[in-house]
Structure formats: C-alpha cells, structure tokens
Amino acid sequence: MSELDLLANRLSIEDLFARYAHTADTYDADGWIDCFAEDGIFEVAANDGGIKFVGRENLKEFIYAHIHLLPGTRHVMTNHLVDIDGNRAQHRCTLTGMLSRPEKVYTFISGWYESNLEKASGQWKIKHRIVHGDYSANSAEEELSAYLQPLVDWMAENGTLS
C-alpha cells in the first residue's frame, strides 16, 4: 500500500470516528449504527467482564437507549493511533465524555476506545469497539450517578455479558 493510500485510509478512519461521536451526540441513531459493520459489536469493558451489544438490531436498541436515557452528551476523542493492514485496521484513542445539565457540565467518562475495523465496499466500518473507563470515581458523584443509573440499568438488562 502506498503512503498516499495509507494516509487516505487513516483520514477515512478518523472521519468514521468523528461521525460516530457527532451522530451519537446529535441523536442521529441511524448515522451511528451505520458506523458499524452488519455484525458489529459495541462493548463496555468492566473489571467483572463487561457488556456487549452485537449486530445492528442490538446496536440500534443501545443507541436509542443512550439517546433517550442520557441526552446531552459530548464524546471527545483524541490521540488517535491507527494500524492499517490491507482491509483491516486497529484503532485506539483517548476518550472524554461530558454530560451537560443545567447545573453543570459533568465528565461522565474518562478512558479510551480500542477498535477493530474492516473495509468493505470502499468504506471503513467498526467491527468491534470496546470502551474502557479509567475509574468510576466520577460516577460516585451523587448528581451524576442519578443521571447515569437509568442507562447503566438498561445496559445490564439488555446487553450480553462478555
């Protein structure tokens, strides 16, 4: 693969993740789902195993729950590392998630994403994305915990344990 092809692929992958954040934060469920492969996986890692949402139908249910139970988010991704091997790639980046409420803006997550991607029909798609939180100290804040708990409960009831 030429250096120009590598650069074009890297920019396409970074655009994919920008679309991922913007669609989640602007309540564009279809746009968010379109960031994933047909059999894509979104996983929230935890010390005790984590929770997965596999396939477009489950991804759709997750993003609708996220939109309805936790509106007002902003996902910020930085420090992108991309390793491309043909039509497959690995990606890792730093994540900060903010939640806007009338009384203040909370940081609801600090951590990182790691993702496996595949290129099909000329487009990069997320095959498996895992979100890792650094610590859960922020979620212990009483006001923030009250905002997060409905989505956490929904995920526990509707996700697949990993």
Q: Where are the domains of the chain?
A: 3-161
Q: What is the mean pLDDT of residues 35-46?
A: 96
Give the tens place of pLDDT for each residue, 10-24. 999 999 999 999 999
Q: Tell me the residue length of the chain.
A: 162
Secondary-structure class of domain 3-161 per CATH: alpha beta
Q: What is the pTM of this model?
A: 0.93
109: closest CA among 10, 21, 30, 3?
21
- Average pLDDT value for the chain: 94
Tokens representing 157 are: 């009831």
Report d(CA 105, CA 123) in Å as an integer. 35
Report d(CA 131, CA 95) in Å as an integer. 8
Give the tens place of pLDDT for each residue, 108-128. 999 999 999 999 999 999 999
Strand partners, 109: 97
What pLDDT is stored for residue 138 in this prediction? 53
What percentage of the chain has pLDDT greater than the value 70? 96
Give the tens place of pLDDT for each residue, 128-159. 999 999 875 455 578 888 999 999 999 999 99
Amino acid at 14: E
pLDDT surpasses 90 at 1? no
